[in-house]
Structure 1
Amino acid sequence: MTYRTEHDSLGERKVPESAYYGIQTLRALENFDVTGLPVSQYNKFIQAFAAVKKAAALANLELGELAPEVAEPIVQACKDVRGGLLDDQFLVDVIQGGAGTSVNMNANEVICNRALELMGHAKGRYDIIHPLNHVNLSQSTNDVYPTALRIALVWYSKDLLLALQELRDALYEKGEQFSNVIKMARTQLQDAVPITLGAEFTAYAVTVNEDVERLEEVMKLLCEVNLGATAVGTGINSVPGYGALACSILADITDLPIKQSANLVEATSDAGAYVTLSGLLKRTSVKLSKICNDLRLMSSGPFTGLHEINLPPMQPGSSIMPGKVNPVIPEMVTQVCYQIIGNDMTVTMAAEAGQLELNVFGPIISFNLFQSLGVLTRAVHTLRKRCIEGITANHERCLELLKGSLGVVTALAPAIGYEAAARVVKEAQESKKPVAEVLDAQGLMTAEEYNELLDPSKMLAPRQFRKR
């Protein structure tokens, strides 16, 4: 292997001749061997960095800060990076110190050396195009990193948004399919009153749709960026008009409603948008875990549990019990939800720990948010395709459990009073006699009246009662 010699303020180092990265990336590789995951693991983040660098180069070109013969190869190199041609050159660990400086320098060096190559020069000829003087012109890690992070989060959120919309639609479809399946609802895991299986699944669809709407709101919030703030929000080392122009160009490049924050000092130090997104992912996870636990309960058995629904069988469930099939998809989703809930705590603490004019913990925030968005998106797709769409209802079992429950006598209370209804239920339980027989013996209601009043199909909505 051949090497080239590069230098920085700490001295000289040999860099592989074939590498597009340079000395600062090399130092980061040595310093931050932490997770074993390179930042290119999240390729949309790299694409977002390329978009930001391209917008900066075009803005500097328009303002006369970059000569065309320098700006044009930088812009082309950014296109190549965004196209994924150089993903293998983004090797910095996802967790690093320096508020993301290592990732920013990784991007500066790769784009610079690709631009030099496009011009026909050797890598490392920084006297022609320089990673900092040209690629990073008018920028700081403190505005580039969070701007790229927000763009990447929006792009990953779009994937999750689609997955949630498809899950919502599948749940609505099941709600329609099961609209005539009457069953016993349960509160505190005890018999309550009749409900339809369709109403339960429609409620799941509604709760998922709430988070679809919230995610769309958070995505708009993330499109407010601090590009042009440079180090602390004052715009030092940039020329007048650069920030607004760069943001406008970035909006065109990404096709997102990017706008510059009204107060760049606040935008540089605050991590509130990340907490909002993370909190929403936690909220969605809590809801999905609840739904999955419901599915496990309703499908339990099949012979000694509720067995009101059938989940599609995905794989044999035991190495010792023949024929056993487990609810593996809901189990997987619930575990993903636990991971996301834990990630939210990490994001919360990292956002809180920001000090003075900068939060230096962007790398751990980005790592946890990217992981949460990725695993949740894949889990939601899997839940829909390999579970929800294949669920069937056990009509007869639902009716059997309904008829065997004393929960239906709730409908007696408006007719004979709560205390009288409670006495009837208690006597029926102790004597093992049917409720209708107890009512008739006490002269409270005839069998015909009882059957009319406690018709489950008439207990699914408000109705007028005749007082006795």
Structure 2
Amino acid sequence: MNDDAFRHETDSLGTLPVPASAWYGIQTARAVHNFPISGRRPDDDFITATVRIKLAAAVANHAAGWLDAQRFEAIRRACELVLTGKHRDQFVVDRFQAGAGTSHNMNANEVLANLANIGLGGEKGRYEPVHPNDHVNMGQSTNDLIPTAIRLTVLAKLPRLLDAVEGMAQAFADLAVQEADTVKSGRTHLQDAVPTTLGAEFSAYAWTLRRVAGQLEAQRPYLCAIGLGGSAVGTGLNTAPGYAKRAAEELARLSGEPIVPAGNIIAQMQSMADLAAFSGALRALAIEITRIANDMRLLASGPRTGLAEITLPAVQPGSSIMPGKVNPVMFEMLNQVAYQVLGQDHAAAQMAAAGQLELNVMMPALGSALFDGMDWLTNALQAATNRGVVGLTVDRERCRDYAHTSVGLATLLNRAIGYAKAAEIAKESQHSGRPVREIVVAHGLMSAEAFDKMVLDAALPQQP
């Protein structure tokens, strides 16, 4: 070992070499050694949330007279360095780590302490005059910092996810207007049913996506209520007077969200119910986009032996062996992401339920599951919208042919000739292969023009 490449730091367990170039310290180095699990470092928004909490804590402690001006300014400058994008590579603890996230918290404390001390003319690893625990972590515990950071991270990601959902909803809404009069056969049980329009199908997708977006947005007020200031078990031990309120106000300023102390800080440290509820809203989104993606794949199936009512943009060759084959790859990808998010939700639910007494030690992985689900859905929705929905084309002739040859059209005759006679017409069409329209005209039940008008009127959605 090259001694010049390392410095030696000491903690309660002994002495350990730490890379000389590292801004983190001994406790982070121990965690890196202990948890070589996933190879995934902390989420970037989670780093931002953590450092914002450190800054908010410093502001509150300085206002209360607990943190002197010199140390406060040094910590503030260190936080701002990280918040502007510097030294992000120094947050190195694996996502699967010590329960509750103590290792991540100490990683932040050590990085900020070293940055602060260098700013004051000190040395890395000496922790004078700024100490990771005594000053950067003043008034905090991992137990109130990590759940607060998770909530802030979800709030930071939420606008991007909502934009992605709205992007797909608007793309479908635009198609709905474009194809408002494109009559097609409806299908129930994957069998011919009464007519509808392609515009109505697309409009329903847009409405559903916006409803799920509303369910996600409805979780925001619960996430804005934080337990910071509860310290170790929610009682506020070793916190300055007014700390919880001042820190929340500063976080509101930094994040642009209406952050407030929770009505019961002990409860907000014990319970991850709001995070589980948000995960449930993510699950609802994943369920809906699974259904929509499956529909798009069915509508585009073919081009000769499937429905082929729409043609999706060709973004890549579909087969390594079949020339000319083009697959619905963007919606296949969307399905895979949705299924993965469903798995993450199940894990999140189990971890939220695993809290014991004053603490939930599963928080690092719970947070990671939520962050992944939000990022994956955001990226997948944007990609599927831009390269799957936008640019799709409609085969209106094929839609019309299906509609006019569907035995489901016999249902339109119920009021005119009764269910029993309409069933006979349907059976005759099914056995002979002749369209219902042709049989109706041949039997003298209705003119072709009247039948066509009846089909169009039936296909258009009725106003409530």
- Give the TM-score, by structure 2 length: 0.95
Query: CA distance change for structure 1 residues 13 and 462 in 2, over 3 Å: closer, same or farther?
Result: closer
CA contact (8 A) 1:412 1:421 kept: yes
3-state SS of 1:329 partner = helix
2:13 to 2, 10, 15: 10
Task: Give the whole-Å Cα distance in 1 for the aligned partners of 2:323 and 2:209.
Answer: 36
Task: Give the whole-Å Cα distance in 2 for the aligned partners of 1:185 and 1:99.
Answer: 52
Task: Give the whole-Å Cα distance in 1 for the aligned partners of 2:415 and 2:29.
Answer: 77
CA contact (8 A) 1:408 1:454 kept: no
Structure 1 counterpart of 2:23: 20
Q: Verify: 1:346 aligned to 2:381, yes or no.
A: no
Map 1:68-107 → 2, pairs under 5 A: 68-107=69-108
Task: Give the whole-Å Cα distance in 1 for the aligned partners of 2:224 and 2:132.
Answer: 27
Structure 2 counterpart of 1:446: 445
Q: Give the Å deviation of 1:420.
A: 2.4
Q: Aligned AA for 2:16? A: R
Q: Aligned AA for 1:29? A: V
Q: Verify: 1:141 aligned to 2:127, yes or no.
A: no
Runs of 4+ in 1 over 6 A off after TM superposition: none
Q: Give the Å deviation of 1:439.
A: 5.4
Q: Which runs of 5+ in 1 are unaligned?
A: 464-468
Structure 2 counterpart of 1:328: 329
Query: CA distance change for structure 1 residues 198 and 262 in 2, over 3 Å: closer, same or farther?
Result: same
Query: CA distance change for structure 1 residues 75 and 435 in 2, over 3 Å: closer, same or farther?
Result: closer
Q: Give the Å deviation of 1:31.
A: 0.7
Q: Verify: 1:181 aligned to 2:199, yes or no.
A: no
Give the RMSD, CA atoms, in angstroms: 1.7
Q: Give the Å deviation of 1:300.
A: 0.8
Q: Aligned AA for 1:148? A: A
Map 1:301-340 → 2, pairs under 5 A: 301-340=302-341
Structure 1 counterpart of 2:56: 55
Task: Give the whole-Å Cα distance in 1 for the aligned partners of 2:324 and 2:7.
Answer: 64
Structure 2 counterpart of 1:299: 300
3-state SS of 1:13 partner = strand
CA contact (8 A) 2:441 2:448 kept: no
Q: Verify: 1:29 aligned to 2:65, yes or no.
A: no
Deviation digits for residues 179-218 of structure 1, max 9, x if unmatched? Answer: 1211101011001111111111011000010112122112
Task: Give the whole-Å Cα distance in 2 for the aligned partners of 1:453 and 1:394.
Answer: 19
Task: Give the whole-Å Cα distance in 1 for the aligned partners of 2:320 and 2:239.
Answer: 66
Task: Give the whole-Å Cα distance in 2 for the aligned partners of 1:438 and 1:83.
Answer: 73
Structure 2 counterpart of 1:355: 356
Structure 1 counterpart of 2:249: 248
3-state SS of 2:390 partner = helix
CA contact (8 A) 1:50 1:107 kept: yes
Q: Which runs of 5+ in 2 are unaligned?
A: none
Deviation digits for residues 16-55 of structure 1, max 9, x if unmatched? Answer: 222110111011001111001111xx11111111100000
Task: Give the whole-Å Cα distance in 1 for the aligned partners of 2:98 and 2:46.
Answer: 18
Q: Give the Å deviation of 1:127.
A: 3.6
Task: Give the whole-Å Cα distance in 1 for the aligned partners of 2:181 and 2:20.
Answer: 70
Query: CA distance change for structure 1 residues 31 and 294 in 2, over 3 Å: closer, same or farther?
Result: same
CA contact (8 A) 1:21 1:110 kept: yes
Task: Give the whole-Å Cα distance in 1 for the aligned partners of 2:344 and 2:5.
Answer: 42
Q: Give the Å deviation of 1:245.
A: 1.2
Task: Give the whole-Å Cα distance in 1 for the aligned partners of 2:453 and 2:408.
Answer: 10
Q: Verify: 1:216 aligned to 2:217, yes or no.
A: yes
Bigger shift: residues 247-256 or 261-270: 247-256
Q: Give the Å deviation of 1:455.
A: 3.2
Q: Give the Å deviation of 1:354.
A: 0.8
Q: Aligned AA for 2:192? A: D
Deviation digits for residues 62-118 of structure 1, max 9, x if unmatched? Answer: 100011011110011011111120111100001112310000000000000000011
Query: CA distance change for structure 1 residues 200 and 104 in 2, over 3 Å: closer, same or farther?
Result: same
Task: Give the whole-Å Cα distance in 1 for the aligned partners of 2:48 and 2:439.
Answer: 73
CA contact (8 A) 2:437 2:448 kept: no
Deviation digits for residues 215-264 of structure 1, max 9, x if unmatched? Answer: 21122321111010101110011122111111111111222110110101
Deviation digits for residues 137-169 of structure 1, max 9, x if unmatched? Answer: 011001111111111111111211111111111
CA contact (8 A) 1:411 1:453 kept: no
Q: Give the Å deviation of 1:282.
A: 1.3
Query: CA distance change for structure 1 residues 422 and 108 in 2, over 3 Å: closer, same or farther?
Result: same
Query: CA distance change for structure 1 residues 437 and 456 in 2, over 3 Å: closer, same or farther?
Result: closer
3-state SS of 1:99 partner = helix
Q: Aligned AA for 1:380? A: L
Structure 2 counterpart of 1:466: none
CA contact (8 A) 1:221 1:273 kept: yes
Structure 1 counterpart of 2:459: 460
CA contact (8 A) 1:47 1:84 kept: no
3-state SS of 1:229 partner = coil
Q: Give the Å deviation of 1:402.
A: 1.2
Q: Give the Å deviation of 1:278.
A: 1.1
Task: Give the whole-Å Cα distance in 1 for the aligned partners of 2:449 and 2:423.
Answer: 15
Structure 2 counterpart of 1:131: 132
3-state SS of 1:183 partner = strand
Task: Give the whole-Å Cα distance in 2 for the aligned partners of 1:455 and 1:231.
Answer: 70
